[in-house]
A and B are shown apart, each in its own frame.
Chain A
Amino acid sequence: MDGKLKTPMQLREIIVITDGRSNIGDSPAGAARIAHRKGIIVNTIGITDSDGAEEPFVELDGIARAGGGICDIIPLPRLGYSVQMVTRQSIQMTIERAVSRQLQKITGCSMEDIPPDSRARVLEYIQRLGDEVDLKCVVALDCSGSMKNKIRTAKNSIQDLLISLKARKGRSYLGMVAFPGGDGRDSRVVSTFTDNFEELAVKLEGIKAGGPTPTYAGIMLSSRLFEEDNLGLYPAEMIAQRQIEAGEHLPQGGNENPFIL
């Protein structure tokens, strides 16, 4: 966390999509904090059955806070829109924070303390960066029993997110984790990072809903997807998939984040 912006820059985001509280495993906010320390932003989207009922979603707000991300609570029909907005705004916010911190260091004042007319040029720069930066994003999808009738919409939203991300100037890769993972596993990698729409669509087909809501495990596995990727010696996607599926212990340390905030 030394506030340096290194190039080539790559943003790392996790988006947790769920319709309820975690009911098995450790505190999900703890997992988000661990991920955030590694330079990953954790965002949350909560699906409500009725508009405005935010009570069960205090936990999601806590996860987003601990993960340095955004929390959005929405009814199911707005999921597609929300997934895109949260991703886009999270990218923007992450860069904004980094630039703002630099600004604070250099000039002693934050973006808030600059009149809008002078701020414009910095914001323009931030916006351009937001479109040009490379992005790796993992969607962690709640596949518990209560999600049964929401899975279809969720799948469509995830595919649609990739369409939107591919329109950016920077490269974008989407990964996907399901929690629980089916067959008694608390989580599973559905797809490692890919920018191939068809490939993702095929893998999404295999998702089925059922079981409890192990949000902690979902976030932990999502952040591990990035770690594996950091090794960079082999096609990272393949190693991650193989090792995670085999449940092997993952090597720790020695991985430097290409993008440190």
Chain B
Amino acid sequence: MIKRINIEPGTVIRGRWYGGEYRVIALLGSGGTARVYLVEDIPGGDRYALKLSTDMAGIDREYRILARLGPMDNIPAVLYRDDCRVGGINCYFFVMTYFEGENLKRVCEAKRMQPKTLVKIAAVTAGICLWLNRRGVFYCDIKPENLVLDKRGGGLCLVDFGGAVKEGEAVVQFTPAFDRASWGRGQRTADEGYQGFAILMMLAEMLLGGLRDTGMGFDALLDTIDKSQLSKGLKKVIIKGLKKDCQSLEDLINSLSNTADLIPGGKQRRRQRLDVAINLALLASIAFFIMVIAVIL
């Protein structure tokens, strides 16, 4: 159904019930059942991301999850939802904060990131997940495409909550490369072990690349990681984590933070500015999460 929907830039999306009007600026991305557009509200002109789908239940679910979590720096805040008709088809949409920046997949493709930075990104991702878990939301579709480095805030943002579920529920949205069941390493259900596996796979993929084909099998995957150029400590953390079925995110954050400290990061003659900026932002985030965890516990 979503394939038949085509919204040109300049089109105005009018809410059926609550009177909101948004002008489409560009298509930001499209998934299996939904599209995300960059829009500006009328008459204000503020920029937002608008997620539109023909799947009523899916849009409602995602909106409900985000609305319940409330505004937070690392996730989109929702501010409006409504129905609309596009080309004679009933559509459902909600409007959320727009994170201006690139997703981690594109960032990694564009430039070589320092291992230290990537390890910290993994630790912060685990921190965000842990924070969400404590609020009853298990984010499972963890992959570089779903993490955005926000240009303005400088922080790491988790987008696309279409795949978020409750603890123990079936994981409905996943990417095989980061899905433990696709590697034959456990069930496709939402728990910290599932998330830990995805985070470590994401880290390995960002560090090494070329690990997305699950056809190679789990043993070959471990072998590839083991034979790579990565430091011994880092290899050990990744391989041990991937092998162990159940792992708490807290342990993962600790071991990742410890590893990050051991990786030499300042020796490069010309450290790129982005790396420095990210490092600062991540340090702040890690401190924040350690604090949050300490408070919760």
Which A residues are closer than 8 A to B by beta carbons?
A: 80-81, 84-85, 88-89, 92, 96, 111-112, 115-116, 119-120, 123-124, 126-127, 131, 160, 163-164, 166-169
The answer to whether B129 has its CB under 8 Å from any CB of chain A is no
Query: How far, in angstroms, from A123 to B18 measured CA to CA in the complex?
Result: 19
Q: A112-B83, A163-B188 are in contact. Are A120 and B60 (CB under 8 A)?
A: yes
Give how many A-B residue pairs fall within 8 Å (CB-CB).
58
The answer to whether B32 has its CB under 8 Å from any CB of chain A is yes
Residues of A within 8 A of B61 (CB): 123, 127
Residues of A within 8 A of B182 (CB): 160
> Do A92 and B57 have beta carbons less than 8 Å apart?
yes
Residues of A within 8 A of B90 (CB): 112
Chain B: interface residue total (CB-CB under 8 A): 26
> Do A116 and B57 have beta carbons less than 8 Å apart?
no
The stretch among B167-175, B216-224, B254-262 that forms the contact with chain A is B167-175
> Do A89 and B55 have beta carbons less than 8 Å apart?
yes
> Do A88 and B92 have beta carbons less than 8 Å apart?
no
Residues of B within 8 A of A169 (CB): 169-170
Chain A residue nearest to B169 (CB atoms) is A131
Q: Nearest-CB distance from A72 to chain B (Å)?
A: 9
CB within 8 A of A167: which of B17, B63, B189? B189
Q: A89-B33, A116-B83 are in contact. Are A164 and B170 (CB under 8 A)?
A: yes
> Do A116 and B64 have beta carbons less than 8 Å apart?
no
> Do B81 and A166 have beta carbons less than 8 Å apart?
no
Query: How far, in angstroms, from A123 to B55 measured CA to CA in the complex?
Result: 11
Chain B residue nearest to A168 (CB atoms) is B170
Quick one: which of B161-197 are within 8 Å of A by CB? 169-172, 176, 181-182, 187-189
Which B residues are closer than 8 A to A by beta carbons?
A: 17-18, 32-33, 55-57, 60-61, 63-64, 81-83, 90, 92, 169-172, 176, 181-182, 187-189
Residues of A within 8 A of B33 (CB): 85, 89
Chain B residue nearest to A73 (CB atoms) is B3
CB within 8 A of A85: which of B32, B56, B176? B32
Residues of A within 8 A of B189 (CB): 167
CB within 8 A of B170: which of A96, A116, A120, A131? A131
Residues of B within 8 A of A115 (CB): 17-18
Query: How far, in angstroms, from A125 to B64 measured CA to CA in the complex?
Result: 13
> Do A81 and B57 have beta carbons less than 8 Å apart?
no
Q: A116-B17, A116-B92 are in contact. Are A163 and B187 (CB under 8 A)?
A: yes
Chain B residue nearest to A118 (CB atoms) is B17
Query: How far, in angstroms, from A80 to B172 measured CA to CA in the complex?
Result: 13
> Do B32 and A123 have beta carbons less than 8 Å apart?
no
In order of increasing CB-CB distance, the 3 nearest A-B pairs are: A167-B170, A115-B17, A167-B189
Query: How far, in angstroms, from A11 to B188 measured CA to CA in the complex?
Result: 21
Query: How far, in angstroms, from A81 to B163 measured CA to CA in the complex?
Result: 13
> Do B57 and A166 have beta carbons less than 8 Å apart?
no
Q: Nearest-CB distance from A220 to chain B (Å)?
A: 28
Q: Nearest-CB distance from B222 to chain A (Å)?
A: 21
Q: Nearest-CB distance from A108 to chain B (Å)?
A: 18
Q: A112-B90, A167-B170 are in contact. Are A123 and B187 (CB under 8 A)?
A: no
> Do A166 and B92 have beta carbons less than 8 Å apart?
no
Chain A residue nearest to B188 (CB atoms) is A167
Q: Nearest-CB distance from B95 to chain A (Å)?
A: 12
> Do B181 and A163 have beta carbons less than 8 Å apart?
yes
Query: How far, in angstroms, from A124 to B187 measured CA to CA in the complex?
Result: 24
Residues of B within 8 A of A163 (CB): 181, 187-188
Query: How far, in angstroms, from A111 to B57 measured CA to CA in the complex?
Result: 11
Residues of B within 8 A of A92 (CB): 57
Sample of 28 A–B contacts (CB below 8 Å) = A88-B172, A96-B56, A96-B57, A111-B56, A112-B83, A112-B90, A115-B17, A116-B60, A116-B63, A116-B81, A116-B82, A116-B92, A120-B60, A123-B57, A123-B60, A123-B61, A124-B60, A126-B57, A131-B169, A131-B170, A163-B181, A164-B170, A167-B170, A167-B171, A167-B188, A167-B189, A168-B170, A169-B169
